[in-house]
Amino acid sequence: MTGLLLVLSAGSFIAPLASVEGVWTQDTHPLPCRVATSILVERSLAADIGLSPGDSVDVGSDPAGPGCRVMIAGVYEPDADPSELARERPRILMHLPEVAAMAGREDEVDRFSIRLRDPAGADDVARDLVALMPGTRVLRADVVAARASTTFEVVRRFHRAIGIITITAGGVFLACIMTLKVQERRSQVAALRLVGVSRKTLLSWLILEAALVSVFGGILGIGIGSLASRLINGFYQRAYQTTLEFSIVTTETVWIGLVLAVSLGLIAGAVGAVRLLQVDALAEVGR
């Protein structure tokens, strides 16, 4: 990965190739048509406007002007790239000289990639290339990838913050419920203490019950979470016409959920049980 360099014209906007409605490129320049032109069409675009391999369409730089008749050689599925999600304009792929001719930018590119023989020397090569080609930026492939994923890094941090709030709310909820659950046993515990059951046994019983409730609650929560994850993936994959997975339930997530649920439940159950066992049993049964 680091062995690849990406060279950008410093002023270029890395723009999608074309807008589609009929299909036209964005610049308005005279349109030299070439023979035997073929294009690849993105799957979602092909599905939306009913195109298939072998069809012919007009491609041009001016929606009001004439276009060049091209044949659809194939339909392609774009890589599942998160940074492409917000892209609104569909894409077609054409041969470079034909796009350059249509855009009136012959012998120009917005960027090109370089594969190095020795990836370790990427930084040195980048420096040399910048000196050789004023007006360009040369970036290592991993730097480009990092820049492209900035949006997702921000969203990840946002999700983590929301996750912390949700866990806090869930933790308080769990503590509350466990406290109530233990307190509900007040008269039962008092009666058991009066018939001679030891505090230790009662404490173990109450804590075990708290643990069981937490484990079952945790498992149920993981089930609901997994179902929600599937629904989220189904919804967003359809909405964005992609194969990307938006929500993944990992083993780590499952363990974090279970450990949090059980430990919070145990703490809340233990605190409630200890308090309950300090109550005067006789007073509790009304004597």
Partner 1 sequence: MLILRYSARELLRHPIRSGLAILGVAVACAMLLDMLMLGGGLNSSFESLLTTAGYELRVAPAGTLPFDTGATISDLQTVRTGMQRLDEIDGVAPVLGANLLLEGPDRPRVFVLGVDPADQGIYRLEAGEDLRSEARGERGIVIDRELTDRGLAIGDTIMLQAPGSFADARSRRGEFTIVGIADFLYSSVGERSAAVSLGTLAEITDQPDEASLLMVRLAEGADPEDVVARLRSDFPGLEIASVGQLVERAAQRLSYFRQLAVILGTVSLIVTTLLIGTIMAISINDRYGTIAALRAIGISRRSLVAAFALESLLLSLAAATIGLALGLLVAGQLESILSDFPGLPAAIRFFVLDPGRVGLAAAGVIAAGVLAALVPAIRAMNAPIASTLHREEP
> Minimum distance between the CB of residue 57 and partner 1, rounded to whole angstroms?
16
Q: Pick the closer one to partner 1 by CB: 15 or 197.
A: 15
Q: Pick the closer one to partner 1 by CB: 117 or 238.
A: 238
- Contact between residue 126 and residue 6 where contact means Cβ atoms under 8 Å apart: no
Binding segment (CB under 8 A) for partner 1, from list 15-23, 33-41, 47-55, 207-215: 15-23
Q: Which two tokens stand for residue 22?
A: 């009929």
Q: Pick the closer one to partner 1 by CB: 71 or 164.
A: 164
65 — phi, psi (to 5°)? Answer: -95, -175
The number of C-alpha atoms within 13 Å of 149 and in the hemisphere containing its C-beta is 10
> Minimum distance between the CB of residue 54 and partner 1, rounded to whole angstroms?
26
Binding segment (CB under 8 A) for partner 1, from list 20-28, 44-52, 69-77, 92-100: 20-28
Binding segment (CB under 8 A) for partner 1, from list 25-33, 91-99, 198-206, 212-220: 25-33
- Contact between residue 30 and residue 104 where contact means Cβ atoms under 8 Å apart: yes
Contact status: 216 vs partner 1 (CB under 8 A): no
Contact status: 277 vs partner 1 (CB under 8 A): no
Contact status: 24 vs partner 1 (CB under 8 A): yes
Q: Pick the closer one to partner 1 by CB: 3 or 225.
A: 225
Binding segment (CB under 8 A) for partner 1, from list 134-142, 188-196, 205-213, 259-267: 134-142
Contact status: 168 vs partner 1 (CB under 8 A): yes
Contact status: 26 vs partner 1 (CB under 8 A): yes
> Minimum distance between the CB of residue 162 and partner 1, rounded to whole angstroms?
7
Candidate list 52, 151, 188, 198; residue touching partner 1; CB under 8 A: 151
Contact status: 19 vs partner 1 (CB under 8 A): yes
- Contact between residue 277 and residue 189 where contact means Cβ atoms under 8 Å apart: yes
Residues that bind partner 1 (CB under 8 A): 9-13, 15-16, 19, 21, 24, 26-28, 62-64, 86, 88-89, 107-108, 133-137, 150-151, 154, 157-158, 161-162, 165-166, 168-169, 172-173, 175-177, 179-180, 183-184, 275, 285-287
